[in-house]
Structures are given as C-alpha cells and as structure tokens.
Amino acid sequence: MSVILSILIQLCMYSILALGLNMLVGYSGLVSSATAALFGIGGYLTALFALHYKLDFFVILIAGGVFAAVLGVLVSLPALRLKGDYFFITTMGFTWIITNIMTNWMQVTRGPNGLTGIPSPLVFGQVLNSRFLFFILILIITALCIFVANRVCTSPFGRALKGMREDDIALEALGKNITAFRVKTFVFYAIYCGMAGTIYAYNMRFVDPTAFTSDESIFVLSMVVLGGVGSIKGTLVGVLVLGIISEGVRYVGLPASIAFQARQIIYGLILVLFMIFRPQGLLGQYKIT
C-alpha cells in the first residue's frame, strides 16, 4: 500500500513539474533545462526548513516555490530577453551551478550524502503521519495546480502567450511587452517546480544531488512532449504514460543491475518513435521547435 501511495504521490509531483514546464514550452515557446535545478531548490529548501525549524507544510511549500522563482529569475533574466538556444544554454548553466552547490556545500547540504531524516509534515499545527492523508493533501494541491494552469492558459493571458509562441516579433509589433510575458511564465514554471520539490522531499524523506540532475529535466520534458506541447490534458496523459512505464519497469522482475538502464532505454525509444511518427505528441497540436 505504501509503495502504491508513494508512486501516486510521485505522479502528482510529476504532474506539477510537467504543468509548469508546459506553460513555458507550450505557451511561451521557451525550452528550459532548469527544471531539475528549480525542483532541487524546492527540495533542499524544504529539507533544511523541516529539519531545522518547525514550520508548517504550506509555509514551506510556498517558500519553496517563491525561492525557486526568485533564484531562477535572477539567473535567467538576461536570457529571458532572448529566445531559443541562448535561453536553453543559460538554463543548462544554471542547473550545473545548482547541482555543484548541492554536491559541494558540505556544511549546508552535506554534499553527496544528502539530507536525511526529514520529519513528517506539519499541517495546521498537526503532525501528519498518515501516508494516505498525505497523499490526499498532495492530490488536492495537484488538482489546484491543474485548475490554476487551466484557468490562466484559457484566458486572454494564455492567448497572448500562444501568440508569443507563434511569432514574438509580431506580438511586439502589436504593442505587447513580450519580456514581461516571458518573465511571468518563467516565474509560474519556477514556482511549480519549487513546490514539486517540497512534495518530493516530504515524500522521500531525504534529498541528495542525484535526484536533481539534468536527466530529471529531460524526463519531465519528455512527458510534456509525449503528451502534447501546449495541451494541459496532453501533459497529464504524458505524465501518466511515462510515469507508469518508468515505475512499472521496476516491478517486472528485471535484475536490479539493469533495471535503471532498461527504464531509460524504454522511454528513450518511446521518445524517438514519437518524434518520428507523432511529433505533436498524443493530444497536442503543436510541434516543438
């Protein structure tokens, strides 16, 4: 039971990550590789707060999101004026910096050993020991995240973002401030990633640098691409398909020594096939450019 709950919580967490990334990739047309770094910032911040201070879960959740957003924007602000390769490379650099800090700042992050012994979350002053209740809490948060993403994307704000994805110069010529739109979507994405980090830390009860590498960024990007860039339903389907395959492979009895590699080969293969036969993803309308 505990295993299933843990997988379900992971799926919720990936949904939040993928929704954040879809907002950026699918709506404003920026491809970021900083997902894992922002996710890691949320995770580490949560671990540190939970270990050293008795703070409420929601306070930490919001702090994780906000802190990820502030750091992310500071680093990527110069790149947000640009598009395409420049932005991607800057976010990659950001990921390396964050991974290095996680691995080497021994006094705070305890380096490769990671931070262990994260206590059960404190929700409105009560310690939440039940895994099931924790799952329900995460489910509600995920539903709220889906609601917010959907509401924003279907509004005139979302329409302007779609315009930006189609042709940013034309949108600028119409008098819209495209840098402001880019910064806002990046903040949205970073907040979602940071919050997912909080969920990860409380679910796993420990954080270490290996959980937040570029592989994780690519895994989340794969979910968005597989489901369909620019589609919220598609993103959730992508999370389900890749999440279930990735977790499922663990339980089909492959020897432990090759289980991880097998998982990567399978989802790598799925991505290759999709790029060839259905580049717009399962439910998407757009191809990634």
Partner 1 sequence: MKILEVKDISKNFGGVRALSNLSFSLEEGQITGLIGSNGAGKTTIFNVITGFLKSDSGQIIYKGEDITGLAPIKIVKKGICRTFQELRLFGKLSVFENICLGIPDQSEEKFMTALIKPPKVRKERAAVKEKVEGIIDYVGLTPYTNYLAESLAYGEQKLLSLGRFLATGADTLLLDEPTSGLDGRHIDNILEVVRKLTTSGKTICLIEHNMEVVSAVSSYIYVLDQGTKLAEGFSKDVMNDPQVLSIYLGGE
Q: CA-CA distance, 121 to 244, in Å (whole number)?
A: 26
Q: Residue 126, Cβ neighbours under 10 Å: how many?
A: 12
CA-angle at 107, arms to 104 and 109, nearest 5°: 60
Nearest approach, Cβ of residue 151 and partner 1 (Å): 6
Among 175, 255, 277, 289, binds partner 1 (CB under 8 A): 175
Among 13, 16, 145, 171, binds partner 1 (CB under 8 A): 171
User: What does DSSP assign to residue 25?
Assistant: I
Does the protein bind partner 1 through residue 262 (CB under 8 A)?
Answer: no
Does the protein bind partner 1 through residue 184 (CB under 8 A)?
Answer: yes
Nearest approach, Cβ of residue 285 and partner 1 (Å): 7
Does the protein bind partner 1 through residue 169 (CB under 8 A)?
Answer: yes
Q: Residue 200 is encoded by which pair of tokens?
A: 């990860």
* Residue 83 or 176 with smaller CB distance to partner 1: 176
Determine the residue type at 157.
Answer: F
End-to-end Cα separation, the chain, in angstroms = 42
Q: Which residue has the tokens 């997912």?
A: 196
Q: Which residues within the stretch 139-158 sit at the binding site for partner 1 (CB under 8 A)?
A: 148, 151-152, 155-158
Among 113, 129, 261, 285, binds partner 1 (CB under 8 A): 285
* Residue 95 or 185 with smaller CB distance to partner 1: 185
* 186, 75 Cβ separation under 8 angstroms: no
Does the protein bind partner 1 through residue 160 (CB under 8 A)?
Answer: yes
Q: CA-CA distance, 283 to 234, in Å (whole number)?
A: 5
Cβ-count burial 84-115 (b if 16+ within 10 Å, e if not): eeebbebbebbbeebbebbeeeeeebeeeebb
* Residue 128 or 152 with smaller CB distance to partner 1: 152
Nearest approach, Cβ of residue 176 and partner 1 (Å): 7
Q: Which residues within the stretch 188-217 sit at the binding site for partner 1 (CB under 8 A)?
A: 188
Q: CA-CA distance, 288 to 169, in Å (whole number)?
A: 18
Does the protein bind partner 1 through residue 162 (CB under 8 A)?
Answer: yes
Radius of gyration of the chain (CA): 18
CA-angle at 140, arms to 137 and 145, nearest 5°: 125
Nearest approach, Cβ of residue 139 and partner 1 (Å): 21
From the list 111-119, 170-178, 206-214, 263-271, the region that binds partner 1 by CB under 8 A is 170-178
Among 59, 113, 172, 251, binds partner 1 (CB under 8 A): 172
Nearest approach, Cβ of residue 129 and partner 1 (Å): 34
* Residue 9 or 24 with smaller CB distance to partner 1: 24
In whole angstroms, how far apart are CA 199 and each of 8, 10, 46, 208, 289? Answer: 12, 8, 9, 14, 31
Does the protein bind partner 1 through residue 163 (CB under 8 A)?
Answer: yes
Residues contacting residue 11 through CB under 8 Å, at least 6 positions apart: 239, 240, 243, 244
Return residues touching partner 1 (CB under 8 A): 148, 151-152, 155-160, 162-163, 166-167, 169-177, 184, 188, 285-286
